[in-house]
Amino acid sequence: MSERRITPPDPHDFLAVDSALPAEERAIRDTVRDFAERELLPNVADWFEAGTIPDPRGLAKAFGDLGVFGMHVAGYGCAGASAVAYGLACRELEAVDSGLRSFVSVQGSLAMTAIHKFGSEDQKQKWLPRMAAGEAIGCFGLTEPDSGSDPGAMRTRARRDGSDWVLDGTKMWITNGSVADVAVVWAATDDGIRGFLVPAGTPGFTANVIHKKLSLRASVTAELVFDGVRLPADALLPGSKGLGSPLSCLNEARYGIVWGAVGAARACYEAALEYAGTREQFGGPIAGFQLTQRKLADMVVDVNQAGLTALQIGRLKDAGACHHNHVSFGKFANVAAAQRVARTARSVHGANGITLEYPVLRHMVNLETVATYEGTEEIHALSIGQSVTGISAFR
Ligand code: TGC
Ligand code: FAD
């Protein structure tokens, strides 16, 4: 009796994680990957070098047409796709650049999720279909100059004045802040932390672009200043109440990062694998040296383990069983894995690795931001620590 021949691992999907995906999820992956490789990849190094996205409105429209804004939201012109499908989209976008996945995360997972979860029916009808289509851009203002990891210490304040609200304060490091049509702004009130919708152009509201970033350069980051901004009563997101409201939006964006980090890691590993096979030193390809093979082994293990982590968290999410500590686990583990892979891939590229001709250093420095925003590595370590011990060590 002849033995069945088992196919050897595919270097591009070593544990055959993707081949196990259902056809519908693979189709979404392929659509986003084709778009990303055709429309984004040829331009991203120039955008990164220029330190901006030259046409954010055009990019928003293209993402809207692709259907990735609010992709996992049901109704209001959104695709209502599975959590895994949304994760795959984030993975394929971040394989090009973390800043481009951020654009989608902030719009869909933060601004649109806040409106969807906590907005009135009028607010949802007014903003969500236009945001899903990429005709309106949103941003999400939680962080302040003096409160990042500890958003409960925010100083931005909204006080009642008749039926109006008056908003004062500063938000810092806000992705898409200066190109947004509407800012979701979190402020302390006499009734705890609440969310507000502040349209661009409201008197007293200014957005100042942050320059001189060395990371996430293909992304717009801004400071938002609110100086006696008068808002009508219906600017309040009526369902928002307490710090748990913005944190529940963060879970959605952090989930996208769990997958996105796999994309950045995969892109670095694949660049290193290709480079190692063609670059020759000492009379042969550097891929033939034991030390390079060790690097490739470390990278392929990290990429595949991170992929499995993302898929399992995605399946939990689709089953309605994903706790926010699962998401902390994924963000903590996968971003650290991606950082290791990016650093190793850069070393495989030698001097070429420090240029924008290759993606590795761009991913490596982007991942410094990814490890910082949406809860730093330390904050997620503390969340996991609290989860397994029952003891909070945040304070
Ligand atoms: P704590 O007392 O623990 O919690 C306050 C209330 O919130 C609940 N909660 C959560 N709810 C939903 N999801 C979560 N992940 C939650 N974490 C906590 C908690 O149960 C409690 O509810 P209740 O009913 O008892 O009041 O709050 P704390 O002040 O001790 O802070 C906890 C901590 C440190 C985990 C939290 O503040 C935190 O996550 N800090 C990190 C801040 C952060 O991630 N900022 C991100 C800003 S947005 C951004 O970076 C966008 S980047 C662009 C992109 O995504 O691409
Ligand atoms: P800090 O909180 O001051 O932390 C500094 C250091 O202290 C970190 O290493 C941290 O882990 C550590 N630390 C803090 N507390 C503890 C503790 N209890 N135990 C141990 N260590 C601790 N925010 C938004 O609201 N919206 C956005 O769209 C947005 N986009 C961003 C885009 C970019 C490019 C960047 C860089 C940031 C963005 N952020 C955004 C802000 C981001 O969420 C914050 O930078 C992040 O939450 C960390 O806050 P911080 O920078 O103030 O650092």
Pocket around ligand 2 at a 6 A CB cut-off: 106, 140-143, 148-149, 173-175, 216, 221, 369, 372-373, 376, 378-379, 394
Residues 6+ apart with CB under 8 A from 346: 268, 353, 354, 360, 361, 364
Q: How far is the CA of 244 from the centre of ligand 1 (A)?
A: 6
State the closest ligand 2 atom to the C-alpha of 176, by its place in the atom list counted from 1: 28
Look at the block and give the residue holding tokens 């694949």: 270
Would the pTM of this model clear 0.85, i.e. be above it? Answer: yes
pLDDT in tens, 85-139: 999 999 999 999 999 999 999 999 999 999 999 999 999 999 999 999 999 999 9
Q: Which ligand lies nearest to the CA atom of residue 113 in the structure?
A: 1
Average confidence score pLDDT of the chain: 97
Question: Could you give the count of Cα atoms lying within 13 Å of 391 in the half-sphere of its Cβ?
Answer: 2
State the closest ligand 2 atom to the C-alpha of 149, by its place in the atom list counted from 1: 2
Three-state DSSP at 241 gives coil
**Host H or E run for residue 228:** strand 221-231
Residue 253: count other Cβ atoms within 10 Å of its Cβ: 27
**Is-contact 263 32, C-beta < 8 A?**
no
State the closest ligand 2 atom to the C-alpha of 376, by its place in the atom list counted from 1: 11
Name the catalytic one among 24, 374, 377, 378: 374
pLDDT given at position 3: 72
Give the whole-number percent of the chain exceeding pLDDT 90: 97
**Domains, the chain:** 17-132 (1.10.540.10), 138-235 (2.40.110.10), 244-389 (1.20.140.10)
pLDDT given at position 20: 85
Q: Does residue 374 have an active-site annotation?
A: yes
Helical H runs in 112-243?
113-118, 121-132
Quote the CA–CA distance of 369 and 353 in Å, as a whole number: 19
Residue in 139, 53, 141, 140 with CA at minimum distance from that of residue 96? 53
Residues 6+ apart with CB under 8 A from 283: none
pLDDT in tens, 36-74: 999 999 999 999 999 999 999 999 999 999 999 999 898
pLDDT given at position 2: 61
Protein residue with its CA nearest to atom 38 in ligand 2: 173
**Is-contact 178 220, C-beta < 8 A?**
yes
